Amino acid sequence: MGSGVRGDHRHRPFAVLVAGLVVAAVALSGCGVKPSAELAAEAGSAPAEAGGGDGAPGVSATEVKVGFVDLRTEKLQSTLGFKLPPSGDVAKQIDEIAKEVNATGGIAGKKMVPVIRPFEALTDSQATEERLCKAFTQDDKVFAVVLQGQFQSTVRSCYSQADTLMLDTTAFPLDQQSFESYEPYLWQPSYPEYGLLNAAMVQDLADGGFFRRAKLGVVGIDNDQNRRVYEEQIGPALKKAGITPADVRWIDGSNSSTLQTGQDQAVLAFKGEGVDRLFVVGGSRLASFMMATAQKQQYFPRFALSTWDSPDFGIRNYPKSMVGAQGVSVMPGFDVADEEYPFPNSDAEKDCVKVLRRSGDDLPTRANARNQLMWCDAAFVLRDAFKEVGGPVTAERFQEGVAALGDGYESAAIYSSGFEKGAFTGGTGFRRMKYEESCNCMVLEGPTRTFEAP
């Protein structure tokens, strides 16, 4: 049997780990920074780049500024007591991506100029993310920004109201209605649309026997999108599969206190009801939070997981809670090891790795390059969309270019890709994955399959 991402079973006490997770999710939310609407208004009032550009911010007669978030995780790793695979010299790798874009036509014939800003993962909050938005949109005046590690939903309105294109590589799930609310500014080239993913996941879990003789619990972060996805995609898919959840619980994630209280209450209720399977809605690290809280109470249900739930993190830190886990993988770099899915694989992945290695970094495994593969997706789709339609360089024109690109889009990060009509996401396929206890890893089953619209 092939091996998946393997974890170190050594980890810090649960209380420390849970505290760190909560800090990473909601810390510094009350730092006195202006609210999202006010920052968005300020960002939107900044003038466009002058000098013969196309009228969009960050665009001149010869150049297009593109922001990149350099996510710093060292402090987060130290706090939580885990290690992530090294990524190498991020700045040099981004420079090489920009050089490749410019050597192959640029953005509508203009030179792509990368603007890199660091972001501390440990202090992720609405305040810090909005500060970053303000820096990119007001100080740097970029045309587009490649987002990474931006988990606060409010910040996307800051960028869109500043007329700034977002190429989002954050594992932050979004459904079609959410994308349409930001049209034409928000795109996820390396992920599928969240509603389609969940409908396919429920059916695949049923086909794979996950629900057999099960008592199912559903838990999610309480917001309009997650409730909508449950009511419109997950709930009907469960009903179609003949599954009725024993309990559905929504957790208030607005601050650390409500988040922890919600987790404690959910775990107590599920354990008391004899729930032995958990389906987590909304990603945003909730699966990891639930594993940590459940282990404190010696509660070990089987988890339904997707790439958004970071199986790699569970493997490294909660191997006992990973036993019996099953789900769908959309991105091998965050789910399985190279023995399970050889690296590099597709032509697009090989091309991206070749570019990245020009920086001098070897990047021996996919885990070392998994974030950078999504940067290639973002930069190259920006180039290729404008190759299809030409200028002017605007978000509206980019949308036309993506539509023209369609099935011609090739992702370096995922199993299968393309932009369907009206879609804002490039992911079109998934693989079934299961946890294998003998190797503390996820393994793949069956071929890549495509999502089907309801």
Q: What is the pLDDT along the chain (454 residues), one digit of tens a residue?
A: 333 344 443 333 333 344 344 444 433 333 333 334 444 444 444 444 433 467 799 999 999 999 999 998 888 777 767 677 889 999 999 999 999 999 999 999 999 999 999 998 888 888 899 999 999 999 999 999 999 988 887 899 999 999 999 999 998 889 999 999 999 999 999 999 998 898 899 999 999 999 999 999 999 989 888 999 999 999 999 999 999 999 999 998 766 678 789 999 999 999 999 999 999 998 767 898 899 899 999 999 999 999 988 888 888 888 999 999 999 999 999 999 899 999 999 999 999 999 999 999 999 999 999 999 999 999 999 999 999 999 999 999 999 999 999 999 999 999 999 999 999 999 999 999 999 999 999 999 999 999 875 4
pLDDT of residue 31: 33
Helix (H) or strand (E) holding 23: helix 14-26
The torsion angles phi and psi of 147, rounded to 5 degrees, stand at -80, 140
DSSP 309: G
Give yes or no for a contact between 106 and 66, defined as CB atoms under 8 angstroms apart.
no
Question: From start to end of 29-128, where are the E strands?
Answer: 63-72, 111-120
Helix (H) or strand (E) holding 186: strand 186-187
266 token code pair? 């959910």
Q: How many CB atoms lie within 10 A of CB 33?
A: 18
Q: Tell me the CATH number of domain 194-339+430-450, given options 1.10.3470.10, 3.40.50.10680, 3.40.50.150, 3.40.50.2300.
A: 3.40.50.2300
Write the CB contacts of 376 (distance below 8 Å, at least 6 apart in sequence): 97, 348, 351, 352, 355, 356, 412, 413
Give yes or no for a contact between 22 and 263, defined as CB atoms under 8 angstroms apart.
no
Give yes or no for a contact between 259 and 283, defined as CB atoms under 8 angstroms apart.
no
pLDDT tens column, 103-158: 999 999 999 999 999 998 888 888 899 999 999 999 999 999 999 988 887 899 99
Residues in the chain: 454
pLDDT of residue 107: 98
pLDDT tens column, 381-435: 999 999 999 999 999 999 999 999 999 999 999 999 999 999 999 999 999 999 9
Residue 71 CA to residue 94 CA, distance in Å, equals 13
2 token code pair? 């092939």
The torsion angles phi and psi of 54, rounded to 5 degrees, stand at -100, 10
310 token code pair? 């970071």
pLDDT of residue 1: 37
Q: How many CB atoms lie within 10 A of CB 347?
A: 10
The torsion angles phi and psi of 25, rounded to 5 degrees, stand at -85, -40
Pairing state of beta strands 186-187 and 247-251?
Answer: unpaired
Residue 14 CA to residue 10 CA, distance in Å, equals 12
Residue 117 CA to residue 121 CA, distance in Å, equals 13
CA proximity to 374, closest of 398, 394, 349, 347: 349
Q: Is 404 helix (H, G, I), strand (E, B) or coil?
A: helix
Dihedral, CA of residue 189, residue 102, residue 156 and residue 425, to nearest 10: -10
pLDDT of residue 173: 87
The torsion angles phi and psi of 337, rounded to 5 degrees, stand at -90, 170
Write the CB contacts of 174 (distance below 8 Å, at least 6 apart in sequence): 168, 186, 188, 193, 194, 225, 424, 425
List every span in the chain annotated with CATH 3.40.50.2300: 18-190+346-406, 194-339+430-450
CA proximity to 415, closest of 208, 190, 205, 147: 190
The CA-to-CA distance between both ends of the chain, in Å, stands at: 35
DSSP 81: T
The torsion angles phi and psi of 168, rounded to 5 degrees, stand at -95, 115
Helix (H) or strand (E) holding 99: helix 90-103
18-190+346-406, superfamily in CATH?
Answer: Response regulator (3.40.50.2300)
Residue 35 CA to residue 445 CA, distance in Å, equals 46
The torsion angles phi and psi of 27, rounded to 5 degrees, stand at -65, 150
pLDDT of residue 24: 45
CA proximity to 414, closest of 354, 355, 336, 331: 331
